[in-house]
Amino acid sequence: MSALTPLLAGLATGAVRVVDLTHSLDPDFPVIILPPEFGQCARFRMEEVSAYDHRGPGWKWHNISMNEHTGTHFDAPSHWISGRDVPHGAVDEIAPEAFIGPVCVIDCSDETDPDFLLEPAHIAEWEAAQGTIPAGAWVLMRTDWSKRQGAAYLNMAEDGPHSPGPSAAAIETLLARDIRGFGTETVGTDAGQGAHLTPPYPAHYLLHGAGKLGLQCLSGLDQLPPTGAVLIAPPLKIKGGTGSPLRVLALVEDA
Amino acid sequence: MTPRAPMPYDGVVATAPVSVPYQRYSQKTAHWWIAAALRLVLRDAGLAKTALDGLTVSSFTLFPDTAVGLTQHLGLCPRWLDHIPMGGASGVVALRRAARAVQAGDARIVACVAGDTNQIESFRSLLSSFSRFAIDASTPYGYGGPNASFALLTDRYMAEFGATREDFGRICVAQRANALRNPGAVMKRPLTMAEYLAARPVSDPLALFDCVMPCAGAEAFLVMRAEEAARLGLPAARIAATIERHNAHAEDPIQLRGGWTVDRDTLWEAADCAPGDVDLVQTYDDYPVISVMQIEDLGFCAKGEGPDFLRGRDLTIAGDFPHNTSGGQLSAGQAGAAGGFIGLVEALRQVTGTAGPTQVEGARRALVSGFGMINYDRGVCSSAAVLEAA
Amino acid sequence: MTEPLAPPPRKDPQKRTVSPTLPPMARSRAALGLTAAAAEGRFALQVCADCGAVQYPPRDACAACLSPDLVWRDQPPGGRLLAETTIRVSPQLYFRERMPWRIGTVALDAGPVVTAHLHGDVVRAARVRMTARLDRAGQGVLVALPAAETDTGTGTGNGTGNNTGTGTGTPHMEDDPLMRSLTCDPKHRRVLITDGRNANTPALIAALRAAGAAAVYVGMAEAWRGAPVLEAEILPLDLTDSASLARMAGEYGGKTDILINNARHLRPGGVMGGNPVFAREALEVSALGLMRLAQAFGPGMAARSADGTNAAAAWVNILSAHALIPDPAMGGFCAAQAAALSLSRSLRAEFRATGLRVMHVFVGPTEDDWHQPLPPPKLTPNALARDLVQGLRDGLEEVWSGDVAKDIRERYAASPKVLERELTGGGA
């Protein structure tokens, strides 16, 4: 019997659910803000080319533009300076097997401090309950941050954004498990104040330096079990691309 | 240096005055109206079309044609042709051009014709493209056309010389009385001074009866040698003297006098008579203030005394100062460039004794005056002629 | 004396909106010199370069000496009214709708005698102060304003425009129907400022309120970044996002009487050393953003350009004077400004038939973050706001705000090439 047959049967019966972890690409969706003298991440933009009208009578379509890191998106190792020399570090070079794997969800949604940092202790606590994070796992940090709207999402103050993320030590811990990649519900894999950690932006710096992948602006992590689901996160095949907006899906088998 | 006196028009006459009855609006073209006038003038003179070897044409609505296009349009083959775009001064100017041509032998029989149509839209389009200065500096200011320009002149004249609306009304009321005797006049109802004063204002201080009514119509006459007229059995008028002048007194801040003041001595000397010697006067009367100005500038009285001069006179056909005996444009209507002919054609009828119901008894000598072309803020062209029974 | 203008009642939804009509549009090429002067608020006439004779109406050769060398020069604005008329009948629709209409003959101190529109407060035989204004057809016309009898009118316009028409006058003279037909006074009008994040927005809001604007709306892009607190109704609006423009135009397009586009994206950087990402964003905001804004708000405003006291009146684009000629240190930004100017002129042509005015306010370096390292003079938000409101009150098309913008305008008019060398080194 084919290995895929039970999966297809599960999908057909609903025993396997497909969960969409993606925000709509929307001009109003926030992007990361850097100091204005730096180049900025382009917001998603959509320009109507025709809409069954004189510009094209029988069809409607749009030109769209955005950054590789706009909306729910994928970070390749080549995104960060630490990953610049990682072999096959661009999105089009990454072997497709890398995009699909088991997913562990660490629930931090009870934390109320916007500057909450995921520490090794939290991982240890999770592993105590769920078992050791397996090699090749996607690890997602659930904060329910995706439920925030408007200005609350970046949570910008005069000293910059305030949103949760991992500490350097937490990332080191995950790297020790040889994870596949790390994902968050916030605008980046790092905390809002990640610039002030050591090293700065530890998730980006350490993950990509180790050839690992990143996912951010995820939504709906509350629909995933702590373990047992499969994450499918293939980016667009952009030549030399450092990342890509993408549709992130999880396959969840109901208990 | 005193200019040399002009040569007399010895042996040349004007004859066969015709008017095509005016209409308020017409769907016909200027070509049609001009053709109607030529047909009438040839019929009256008993001439074939081929007998015409000279032609002058005056019209505002002939566009895109000129006199040239008209020759082919009407199948004429003149050896002398002139287009005279001088509006209210056109009649006298056509006469003096034609007379010299005949005198010099450049032409034998010249038809001088003026005609315009008046379609619903044509007055608006005429105003909007009248002249470059008008386009640039008049029409954007209320688009009042000549009404507004003459309102400003009238306003200034009244302020300067103490003229009243009654002074202008007297001219209009007398002309209406004259028009009632002219079956071709557009205005058929009597006009009282009370009605004049109570009329709807148009452009202060001008009111309805100060303004001519644009209409369609045509006027024509012939110029030929006296013996030719006699051979044809046509009553004819001698051309005693003529003048024309353009853009006179440009330095005057506002027009209170016209070019006649420059040339009137030449006129009266050549005609060998004085203002008091004429039996009737035909002024260009697009607005009554202009008639007053002509009466002053042609020497009947001093500048500013026109209102007083007229107060003591009766301007009707039977009066002591017969003026605009056909009713003038104010009561007969203004048929475009034909308005520059109406006084001359009527004067020809008067001195040849063919004016019928408007005839001034014993009229032997007439003064005709023309005034034309509000290029910007004033009339640029002035002309005048003294005509006498041949 | 002029009756102060009452705030307009709310629009009667059962009445058809009045279609805009225009006064006569045609002018000779020579007469367009008056339009050019009026666009900047200057009272200028043709002067013979050979004999000095001042001419009017505009012509192609001197009426005194036949020289073809006629130049437009600012003239002393004084004059005296010689004659007047109140026109009550006109065959032209624009004037028919506005009867009675008062004009007069004015003897100018400068020499010529002219026909001019008369302000309602000008009395018979009075001294007047002449101005050149743009009429609803966007063409220059002469307007006689009331002047004190002692006003000898010996002063001249200041050459570089924005001869703002302040000075002697009468109370509420800006409310005269003639002035309302010629100007874009913010009084009783509703104004949309497109970019609430621009440093000049608070000053613009204050100046417009002081000028009697009935409402001030302010567009705010990317509300998720947090927004400055402003004394205005805030609308989510982003010139780079067509959908946001369509949404806001749907709600506010029909009650935007004056639109002030102050959005821009300024980053230093030339051509080889500049960042195309910045240049692209500058073009997205200034050029394509203007086009998107016009597609969203233009039709609604164009349809309301004859809609009573608060008819849509003006579209204002605040532009760098370097739209004319670049500051090479800001090559990308200047290119976007030049593109915006070009589009704005095309937009002006498209609005022409409606009488809606497009006004440019040109600025030099402004007092804001991006010009912080530059030495003065820099244009303060208050000075910009003052010039902009005065430009609306004078119905201008081109406003040069501040010394640097005026200087660039003059030098550009004198010689673009010389100015280019001076801006790129090589001027001693």
What is the secondary structure of C186-241 as a DSSP string? -TT-EEEES-TTSTTHHHHHHHHHHTT-SEEEEEES-GGG-----SSEEEE--TT-
Find out whether B54 and B98 touch, Cβ atoms under 8 Å.
Answer: yes
CA distance, residue C91 to nearest chain B CA (Å) = 6
Residue B141 forms contact with C (CB below 8 Å): yes
Residue to test with chain C: of A24, A25, A38, A40, most C Cβ within 10 A: A40
pLDDT at A157 over 60: yes
pLDDT band at B3 (very low <50, low <70, confident <90, very high): low
Q: Between B143, B204, B376, which is nearest C92 by CB?
A: B143
Tell which residue, A254, A238, A253, A255, has the closest CA to residue A74: A238
Question: Residue A140 pLDDT more than 50?
Answer: yes
The per-residue pLDDT for range A192-247, each reduced to its tens digit, is 999 999 999 999 999 999 999 999 999 999 999 999 999 999 999 999 999 999 99
The pLDDT tens digits for B13-23 are 999 999 999 99
Catalytic residues of A: 79
For this complex, say whether ipTM is above 0.85.
yes
User: Which of C90, C93, C130 should one mutate to test binding to chain B, selecting the residue with the greatest count of B CBs within 10 A?
Assistant: C90
What average pLDDT does this structure show over A79-90?
97
Cα C309 → chain centroid: 19
C-beta atoms of C223 and A150 within 8 A = yes
Token code pair at residue A113:
């401090």
Measure the CA–CA gap between B307 and B325, rounded to whole angstroms: 19
CB atoms within 10 A of CB C62: 21
pLDDT, chain B, mean:
95
Listed by number, the residues of chain B in 168-187 with a beta carbon closer than 8 Å to a beta carbon of chain C are none
- In degrees, rounded to 5, the angle at the alpha carbon of residue C315 between the alpha carbons of residues C311 and C321 is 155
CB contact under 8 A, C244 and A28: yes
Q: Tell me the chain C residues in contact with residue B200 when contact means C-beta distances shorter than 8 Å.
A: 88
Closest CA to B204 of C280, A24, C118: C118
Where do runs of H (alpha helix) occur along chain A? Answer: 5-13, 120-130, 151-154, 168-176, 202, 208-209
Contact B141 C58 (CB under 8 A): no
pLDDT for residue C154: 46
Query: Per-residue pLDDT tens for B63-110?
Result: 999 999 999 999 999 999 999 999 999 999 999 999 999 999 999 999
Spell out which residues of chain A touch residue C243, defining contact as CB-CB under 8 Å: 27, 46
Of C85, C106, C143, which to mutate for an interface test with B (greatest number of B Cβ within 10 Å)?
A: C85
CA A123 to mean position of chain CA atoms: 19
Q: Pick from C24, C63, C86: which is nearest to B203 by CB?
A: C86
- Residue C151 has what pLDDT? 58
C70 sits in which H/E element: strand C70-74
Amino acid, res. B47: L
**From the list C24, C82, C83, which residue is nearest B143 (CB)?**
C24
Q: Calculate the average pLDDT of chain A.
A: 96
Percent of chain B topping pLDDT 90: 92
Chain C residues whose CB is inside 8 A of the A28 CB are: 222-224, 236, 241, 244
Interacting residues of A208 by C-beta distance below 8 A, sequence separation 6+: A75, A76, A77, A78, A79, A80, A82, A83, A86, A89, A214
Alpha-carbon distance of B200 to B292, in angstroms, equals 22
pLDDT in tens, B164-179: 999 999 999 999 999 9
What pLDDT sits at residue C155? 44
| pLDDT by position in tens, chain C (length 428) | 889 999 999 988 899 989 999 999 999 999 999 999 999 999 999 999 999 999 999 999 999 999 999 999 999 999 999 999 999 999 899 999 999 999 999 999 999 999 999 999 999 999 999 999 999 999 999 999 999 766 554 444 433 344 444 456 889 999 999 999 999 999 999 999 999 999 999 999 999 999 999 999 999 999 999 889 999 999 999 999 999 999 999 999 999 999 999 999 999 999 998 999 999 999 999 999 999 999 999 999 999 999 999 999 999 999 999 999 999 999 999 999 999 999 999 999 999 999 999 999 999 999 988 988 888 899 999 999 999 999 999 999 999 999 999 999 999 999 999 999 998 887 66
Cβ contacts below 8 Å, chain B against chain C, sum to: 119
CB A246 within 8 A of CB A235: yes
Given an 8 Å threshold on Cβ–Cβ distance, is A45 in contact with C278?
A: no
User: Model confidence over B148-204: pLDDT tens digits?
Assistant: 999 999 999 999 999 999 999 999 999 999 999 998 888 889 999 999 999 999 999
What is the count of residue pairs from A and C with beta carbons less than 8 Å apart? Answer: 44
Residues from chain A that touch C267, judged by Cβ atoms under 8 A, are 36-37
Q: Which chains touch B (3 or more CB pairs under 8 A)?
A: C
Q: From CA B38, how far away is CA B41, in angstroms rounded? A: 5
Q: Do C91 and B123 touch (CB under 8 A)?
A: yes
The torsion angle over the Cα atoms of residues B174, B178, B179 and B182, rounded to 10 degrees, is: 180
**Is the whole-model pTM more than 0.90?**
yes
- 29-58 in A: which are within 8 Å (CB) of C? 30, 33, 36-37, 39-40, 42-43, 45-48
Contacts of B148 in chain C (CB under 8 A): 85, 87, 103
A83 close to C (CB below 8 A): no
Most confident of B3-12, B120-129, C391-400: C391-400
Residues of C in contact with A42 (CB under 8 A): 277
B contacts of C57 (beta carbons < 8 Å): 132-133, 136-137, 376
Q: Rounded to whole angstroms, how far apart are CA atoms A174 and A168?
A: 10
Residues B344-365 have a mean pLDDT of 97
Degrees, nearest 5: CA angle B264-B265-B270: 100
Are residues C103 and B144, on separate chains, in Cβ contact within 8 Å?
A: yes
User: Counting Cβ atoms within 10 Å, is residue A162 exposed (0-12), middle (13-18) or buried (19+)?
Assistant: middle
Question: Is residue B137 less than 8 Å (CB to CB) from chain C?
Answer: yes
Give strand ranges (E) for B5-109: 12-23, 54-58, 80-83
Contact present, C and B (at least 3 Cβ pairs less than 8 Å): yes
* Residue B115 in this model has a pLDDT that exceeds 90: yes
Task: Tell me whether residues A154 and C243 touch, CB distance under 8 A.
Answer: no
Question: Which pLDDT belongs to residue A203?
Answer: 98
* For range B374-386, the mean pLDDT: 95
- Taking the C-alpha atoms of residue C283 and residue C286, their distance in angstroms, rounded to an integer, is 5
First-to-last C-alpha distance (Å) of chain C: 56
Nearest to B386 by CA among B368, B361, B359, B364: B368
- The nearest CA of chain C is from the CA of A39 a distance in Å of 7
What separation, in Å, do the N-terminal and C-terminal C-alpha atoms of chain A show? Answer: 23
Residue indicated by tokens 């058929």: B188
Q: Of C187, C213, C256, nearest to C4 (Cα)? A: C187
Question: How many CA atoms are closer than 13 Å to the CA of B2, on its beta-carbon side?
Answer: 5
Chain A: list its partners (3+ Cβ pairs within 8 Å): C
